[in-house]
Chain A
Amino acid sequence: AQTVTQSQPEMSVQEAETVTLSCTYDTSENNYYLFWYKQPPSRQMILVIRQEAYKQQNATENRFSVNFQKAAKSFSLKISDSQLGDTAMYFCALNPGTASKLTFGTGTRLQVTL
């Protein structure tokens, strides 16, 4: 079984500032994938960034980057130059790779303010 923990229920950041969302996980698998999904009020889950566990290099997608610490089982998301459109619920998720079961954390609600 796998677990995903997000310890920050809510966060707030000012526009143009940087914010980091935390996520820890546990799995017995060696090969797995980690994701950050964004769910705005429009409710569609949108992939923000993906990390393969076998890759040591941290994934980046424009203003979004991760700090993947495999030994510590930590997978944080950094959002740089925050924009109002980044306001959403952010879910950390784990796919163990051996089965099609994506496990979500409880989510962090991010509010970007002026």
Chain B
Amino acid sequence: DTEVTQTPKHLVMGMTNKKSLKCEQHMGHRAMYWYKQKAKKPPELMFVYSYEKLSINESVPSRFSPECPNSSLLNLHLHALQPEDSALYLCASSPGTALNTGELFFGEGSRLTVL
């Protein structure tokens, strides 16, 4: 299994809602990532988990809360978002070991619209 699976594919939420994005991989990778991508722009790194511990937080607002319940799962909890948070949210994984080639494996993304 060489896939990174993200759910839901599309999400529409109001500014007062609480929702979550989910990401799953079964490649035995020990590093997982959240990226945010606005239209016609490159992905921007948000968070990195390495061996289930948060290792990088790129100064992301607290209305985004990541969680790594186990080595295969990565969640992004959303609360009190703003319309400008509307974007494609990409999850990725990598081996996170000495065998790391630097390559990231990406999911298809969750398209988020905040009304």
The reply to whether B108 and A100 contact each other, CB–CB distance below 8 Å, is no
The reply to whether A35 and B102 contact each other, CB–CB distance below 8 Å, is yes
Which B residues between 33 and 73 are near A, CB-CB below 8 angstroms? 33, 40-43, 45, 48, 50, 55-56
The reply to whether B48 and A101 contact each other, CB–CB distance below 8 Å, is yes
A28 to B45, CA, bound (A): 20
The reply to whether A33 and B102 contact each other, CB–CB distance below 8 Å, is yes
The reply to whether A102 and B108 contact each other, CB–CB distance below 8 Å, is no
Q: How far does the Cβ of A56 sit from chain B's closest Cβ, in whole Å?
A: 17
The reply to whether B42 and A50 contact each other, CB–CB distance below 8 Å, is no
Q: Which residue of A lies closest to B4 (CB)?
A: A44
The reply to whether A35 and B103 contact each other, CB–CB distance below 8 Å, is yes
The reply to whether B48 and A43 contact each other, CB–CB distance below 8 Å, is no
Kindly state whether residue A91 has any CB partner on chain B within 8 Å. yes
